[in-house]
């Protein structure tokens, strides 16, 4: 027992020291950062299957050289990451990005970041407050911001696009990501401060300056707290609750509601494909859809960032009415082992390469099971009209789901272009490569997956059959014009049938 006690004490001491040892102000010498950049480049060139999918090799080579020249002085980890972000953005792969070191992540857990205290939304090249967590209550929702720290607010907003990475040339993923995370991205890119200076327009359209900081959280009292009504969310940032919907199922990953305006319509809201037992979940959902005699099903994939391929495929089986193929191909580059020592998830990658995929004569690994023709679900399968709601937050597996259902003419897509690619993406196995000197991590996928879409790849997401744009009034009133478009289309269909 004494031995266990002393071993535990030693481990706790080592853990505490490792947390204290990380210093965010520590700088790395130029030679060490150059070494990391070289390893990152060679690792991406040997393992990333879509490195030159959207950016020609000569252009990316030039960007690597320019980045190397920019490493001309010692840098902190965050400064180094800020240098790498625009370079990685040029790959145009939403699954490839720069992450902090594990030491930084551990340190951050004990040091709450001082984010910019205002969330914002952009309409017609103007920036407005969407929510206020600052010490200035008069900066209410809808106030127009014209400057942040002396910079034009729109310029500050647009500048964050170079560190938000989307598939191909898509811009809606960038829009949605910045919209949802502006306080964090602004703090990361421009630096953390105790206070920030903002300039807004008052009721007379005159500029007024404010010094803002994040409002301190009030200490919780032991007494029973009175319930507080939460503020209504901003449409597009967090999907608003449809006021004429009655929920019949609700969980962390999905909800099912029936419209009070039209009892033949149901809204299936899936916010992720990373759910646990998705087979059991789908059985429950589609059993309810069948029992309630739903004729019009709205599949809400807005802000669904993707998840498990198997969960996406099974959902399509419940929705398709004839056999279908979800992927044309899923394959990796010829494997090179010299950079494997820098990557994690070695056992998972081993299973992927040795069991799930098959090695071809040229060294490529191919996942043939992904290209098999799949049969629709006979039991509880939905055969009615299908509408899919999408936006820039519809990414990865959710974008692939929308792409296939639209391509096979099974669904009508409403909303905005998806953030994920229509023709495919690079994904499936996505390890981290840890750069040895700075310990900065580069996340990148090992397989390129092409959807069933055979149209030429334009580097865009799934384009809606019925585009819907949000106005400032929609944001202010938490309205949902996507759902209104659904009701409009159903009404037109009903009139035609009559």
Look-up: residue for tokens 């992904």? 370
Q: Tell me, what's the pLDDT at 231?
A: 34
Yes or no: is domain 245-430+447-497 CATH 3.10.129.10? Answer: no
Are the C-beta atoms of 423 and 453 separated by less than 8 Å?
A: yes
Q: Which residues pair with 442 in a beta bridge?
A: 98, 433
- Distance from C-alpha of 410 to C-alpha of 324, rounded to nearest angstrom: 11
Please give the pLDDT value at position 228.
Answer: 32
Cβ-based neighbours of 196, under 8 Å, separated by 6 or more: 116, 117, 148, 149, 211, 212, 213
Query: How far does CA 304 lie from the centroid of its chain?
Result: 8
Bridge-partner residues for 427, per DSSP?
447
Q: d(Cα 179, Cα 345) in Å, to the nearest integer?
A: 32
Chunked in runs of 10, what are the mean pLDDT values of the chain (498 residues)? 56 50 94 97 94 97 98 97 97 96 94 94 93 94 95 97 94 93 96 96 93 75 37 43 76 94 95 93 97 97 95 97 94 79 72 76 88 94 97 96 97 97 92 96 94 93 95 81 95 59
**Do 118-164+174-212 and 245-430+447-497 show the same overall fold?**
no
CA distances from 210 to 1, 48, 111, 135, 150 (A): 60, 46, 26, 10, 11
Q: Write the CB contacts of 19 (distance below 8 Å, at least 6 apart in sequence).
A: 106, 107, 110
Task: For residue 268, give both structure tokens.
Answer: 């299936």
Structure confidence at residue 351 (pLDDT): 66
∠ CA 477-483-484 to the nearest 5 degrees? 75
Q: Cα(312)–Cα(278) distance, rounded to whole angstroms?
A: 9
Q: Where are the domains of the chain?
A: 118-164+174-212, 245-430+447-497
CATH class of the region 118-164+174-212: mainly beta
Q: What sign for the dihedral angle of Cα 479, 485, 490, 492? A: positive
Task: Record the tokens describing residue 280, joined without a space.
Answer: 């059991």
Those residues with Cβ within 8 angstroms of residue 233's Cβ, 6 or more apart along the chain or in another chain: 239, 240, 478
Residue 84 confidence (pLDDT): 98
CB 434 within 8 A of CB 99: no
3-state secondary structure of 16: helix
Q: How many residues are recorded in the chain?
A: 498
pLDDT of residue 347: 65
CA dihedral 304, 306, 311, 315 (to 10 degrees): 50
State how far the Cα of 345 lies from the Cα of 349, in Å rounded to an integer: 6
């Amino acid at each position: 027992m004494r031995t266990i006690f002393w071993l535990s004490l030693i481990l706790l001491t080592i853990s505490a020291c490792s947390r204290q040892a990380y210093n965010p102000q520590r700088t790395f010498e130029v030679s060490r950062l150059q070494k990391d950049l070289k390893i990152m480049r060679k690792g991406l060139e040997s393992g990333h299957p879509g490195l030159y999918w959207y950016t020609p090799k000569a252009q990316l080579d030039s960007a690597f050289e320019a980045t190397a020249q920019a490493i001309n002085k010692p840098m902190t980890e965050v400064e180094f990451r800020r240098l790498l972000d625009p370079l990685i953005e040029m790959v145009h792969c939403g699954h490839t990005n720069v992450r902090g070191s594990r030491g930084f992540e551990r340190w951050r857990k004990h040091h709450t970041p001082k984010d910019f205290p205002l969330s914002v939304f952009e309409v017609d090249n103007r920036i407005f407050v969407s929510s206020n967590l600052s010490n200035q209550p008069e900066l209410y929702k809808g106030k127009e911001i014209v400057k942040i720290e002396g910079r034009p607010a729109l310029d500050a907003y647009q500048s964050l696009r170079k560190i938000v990475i989307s598939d191909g040339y898509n811009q809606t993923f960038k829009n949605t990501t910045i919209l949802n995370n502006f306080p964090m991205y602004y703090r990361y890119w421009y630096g953390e401060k105790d206070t920030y200076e903002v300039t807004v327009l008052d009721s007379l359209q005159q500029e007024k300056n404010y010094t803002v900081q994040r409002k301190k959280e009030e200490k919780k009292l032991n007494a029973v707290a009175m319930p507080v009504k939460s503020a209504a969310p901003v449409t597009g940032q967090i999907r608003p609750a449809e006021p004429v919907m009655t929920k019949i199922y609700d969980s962390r990953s999905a909800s099912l509601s029936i419209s009070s305006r039209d009892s033949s319509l149901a809204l299936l809201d899936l916010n992720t494909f990373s759910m646990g037992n998705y087979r059991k979940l789908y059985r429950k959902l589609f059993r309810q859809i069948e029992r309630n005699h739903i004729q019009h099903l709205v599949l809400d994939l807005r802000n669904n960032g993707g998840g498990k391929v198997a969960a996406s495929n099974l959902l399509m089986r419940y929705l398709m009415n004839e056999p279908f193929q979800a992927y044309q191909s899923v394959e990796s580059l010829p494997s090179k082992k010299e950079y494997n020592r820098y990557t994690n998830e070695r056992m998972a990658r081993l299973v992927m390469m040795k069991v799930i995929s098959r090695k071809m004569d040229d060294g490529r690994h191919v996942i043939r099971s992904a290209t098999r023709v799949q049969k629709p679900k006979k039991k509880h399968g939905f055969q009615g009209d299908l509408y899919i709601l999408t936006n820039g937050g519809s990414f990865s597996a959710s974008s692939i789901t929308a792409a296939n259902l639209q391509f096979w003419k099974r669904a009508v897509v409403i909303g905005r272009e998806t953030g994920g690619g229509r023709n495919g993406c690079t994904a499936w196995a996505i390890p981290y490569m840890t750069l040895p000197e700075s310990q900065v991590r580069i996340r990148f996928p090992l397989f390129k997956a092409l959807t069933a879409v055979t149209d030429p790849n334009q580097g865009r997401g799934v384009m809606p059959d019925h585009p819907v744009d949000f106005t400032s009034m929609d944001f202010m009133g938490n309205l949902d014009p996507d759902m209104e478009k659904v009701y409009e289309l159903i009404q037109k269909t009903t009139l035609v049938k009559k």
